[in-house]
Each structure stands twice: as C-alpha cells, then as structure tokens.
Amino acid sequence: MAQTTQPAAEIGVIGGSGFYSFLDDIEEVLPDTPYGPPSDPIAIGGIAGRRVAFVPRHGRDHRYPPHKIPYRANLWALRALGVRQVLAPSAVGSLTPDHGIGTLAVPDQLVDRTHGRAQTFYDEGAAIHLSFADPYCPAGRRTALATAGEAGWPPVDGGTLVVIEGPRFSTRAESQWYAAQGWTLVGMTGHPEAVLARELALCYTPLCLVTDLDAGIEEGEGVTMEEVFRVFAQNIDRLRPLVADVIKSLPEDRTCPCPHSLDGMKLPIPLP
Ligand SMILES: CSC[C@H]1O[C@H](OP(=O)(O)O)[C@H](O)[C@@H]1O
Ligand SMILES: Nc1ncnc2[nH]cnc12
C-alpha cells in the first residue's frame, strides 16, 4: 500500500453507515497522522476531472462506533492529501413527520449533545476559538441543494441536526424534547466532524439521508440499527450518483468564508 503525504485530492467524501465504498479505479493510501491512522485506507480516484479522496468513517466493516471514530485522524489525513472541500453523507433520524423516510436534507445548523469526544486540534500551546455560528459551507450547501433538485430528489433546505453521543438511540422523551426545541434531524457523527473540518479551514457539507422517524415521533418499537441499514441500502444507488454529481458541480474557486476560518490566528501547530 502506498504511503504518501503529497497532495493527491481536492475533494473528500466521508461515507457513513452503509456507505463504505465510492470510487472506481482507485489508489489506496494510508497517511500517518499525529492522531493515528484514519478509519481505513483512503481511496483516491477521479470524477469528471476532480480528484477525490474517500474514507468510510466507521471503517469498511463498521467497526468504529460513533464515539470511537478517529475523527481527527480522518480530517487531518484528508487535508494532508490536499483536500479542501468535504462532503459528508450520513444516515439520520427525523424529528418531524414532515421529513419522511428517504428524505434528503442539507441542514444549516448543528446542536452538539455529545460528550467526551476530542473536538479540537488546538488543545495545547495556544487558545484558538473559531467562529462556528454557521457550521456548514454555504457554497457546498448551495451546490448540494441545486444538484439534488436537478436530480429529481428535492432536498430539505436547512434545519438543525442534533448530534447525540450514542451509540444507543434516543429514548422517546429525549426524542420529543429534541423535537420540541425545533431541531429536525438526529444523528451520532456530525460532531465533532464538522468543527474539526472548520479547524482545518475545510469546507464541510452534510448530506443527510433520513432512514427512520425517531422514537418520539412515531409510535411503535423505536428505531433499530437493522432499519437504518435496510433503508440506507434501499437508497444507496441514488445517493452515490448524487454525491458524484455534487462533486462535478462544486465550485473550484472557494469564494466562501471557509478558507479564511484561521485568518489572524496564531496556530500552535502547523496545518498539514
Ligand atoms: C447504523 S445505526 C446508527 C449510526 O448511523 C448513523 O451513522 P452515520 O452518521 O455514520 O451515517 C448514525 O450517526 C450512527 O452512527
Ligand atoms: N434515529 C436516529 N438517531 C440517531 N442516529 C441515527 N442515525 C440514523 N437514525 C438515527
């Protein structure tokens, strides 16, 4: 397996539950990082002339539960390969009957309900406080929304993704409380992934596939892992091409604020 730290890709895709492979005709690399290895070797390939790096966040065999995913290693490795824009497909529960199973959503806000996860690269040597009011890349979101609409999969524009610690699903009361806050989606991996991307001045765009109505929204037994995988598998054949189409349409020039996230900061460690 090749070892490389040379720029090799410009766009990164971090696949979630049920999204373990992406590109054809790949080269695999396993960059070393100060945070250990990424979840699995990173696959590098091309889509319409854009160089793309793919890593499945749980590992190809889904061996990392949400709280054990090497988030820092994944983001660091992608940036070291040259990646500057990240697309992040994931399976989420819906907190509103308005977003049924199979809905594609591109949230614009995030609430962190995790605890104990390493969520910064800058934890010694200097205090770095980044702006995170708008956690996602506006250009990436615009592109994803337009592309999905054109592909005949009209997406939900906006909403709030609450990220729970997991690995268990929510109780009905927790779920109803999240919904009562006005939050619309629930997942387990959107944090710290998004903030770590921001800390590396990367664009980060979530692509959330609703696999279930969360426990407080629907009567019945509650969410199961089997249900999430089943529904995701039913949608992967339209999600993969959609991600490819988004990649084709992502602007090459980053005129969004994301590249300037670290402007004026005296970082305690150099960026890869
Ligand atoms: C497989 S059930 C719960 C699992 O699914 C979601 O994964 P991902 O965000 O990586 O698509 C959720 O966050 C949990 O990790
Ligand atoms: N209901 C749910 N809660 C948390 N994470 C999920 N991923 C998919 N469905 C979920």
Is residue 125 included in any domain, yes or no?
A: yes
Q: Which amino acid appears at position 62 of this protein? A: H
Which residue in the list 214, 237, 245, 263 is annotated as catalytic? 214
Which residues form the domain of 201? Answer: 11-260
Is residue 5 included in any domain, yes or no?
A: no
The answer, yes or no, to whether any atom of ligand 1 lies below 6 A from the CB of 164, is no
Contact 172, 215 (CB under 8 A): yes
Is residue 272 included in any domain, yes or no?
A: no
Q: How many structural domains compose the chain?
A: 1
The answer to whether the annotation marks 17 as part of a ligand binding site is: yes
Q: Which of 67, 165, 228, 243 to mutate to test the pocket of ligand 1 (most atoms within 8 A of CB)?
A: 228
Is residue 266 included in any domain, yes or no?
A: no
Closest ligand relative to 66 C-alpha? 1
Handedness of CA 178, 65, 22, 200 (dihedral sign): positive
Closest ligand relative to 190 C-alpha? 1
Q: Ligand 2 — pocket residues by CB below 6 A?
A: 91-93, 164, 169-170, 186-188, 211-212, 214, 223, 228
Tokens (6 digits) for 41: 């070797």
Q: Which amino acid appears at position 76 of this protein? A: W
Which residue in the list 212, 237, 245, 263 is annotated as catalytic? 212
* pLDDT tops 80 at residue 1: no
- Provide the 8-state DSSP code for 87: E
Q: What is the rounded radius of gyration, in angstroms, for the C-alpha atoms of the chain?
A: 18
Neighbours of 185 (CB within 10 A): 28
Helix (H, G, I), strand (E, B) or coil at 191: helix
- Provide the 8-state DSSP code for 2: B
Instruction: Please give the model's pTM, rounded to 2 decimal places.
Output: 0.97
Q: Whose CA is nearest to atom 10 of ligand 2?
A: 93
* pLDDT tops 70 at residue 6: no
* Position 4 confidence tier, pLDDT thresholds 50, 70, 90: very low
Residue 212 catalytic? yes
- Its ipTM equals 0.99
C-alpha distances in Å from residue 45, one per residue of 13, 148, 157: 11, 22, 29
Is residue 4 included in any domain, yes or no?
A: no
Is residue 265 included in any domain, yes or no?
A: no
The answer to whether the annotation marks 58 as part of a ligand binding site is: yes
pLDDT digits (tens, 9 = 90+) for 160-204: 999 999 999 999 999 999 999 999 999 999 999 999 999 999 999
Is residue 1 included in any domain, yes or no?
A: no
Residue 98 catalytic? no
Placement of tokens 């779920």 in the chain: 175
Could you tell me the CATH number of the domain that includes residue 36? 3.40.50.1580
Is residue 6 included in any domain, yes or no?
A: no
* Position 219 confidence tier, pLDDT thresholds 50, 70, 90: confident
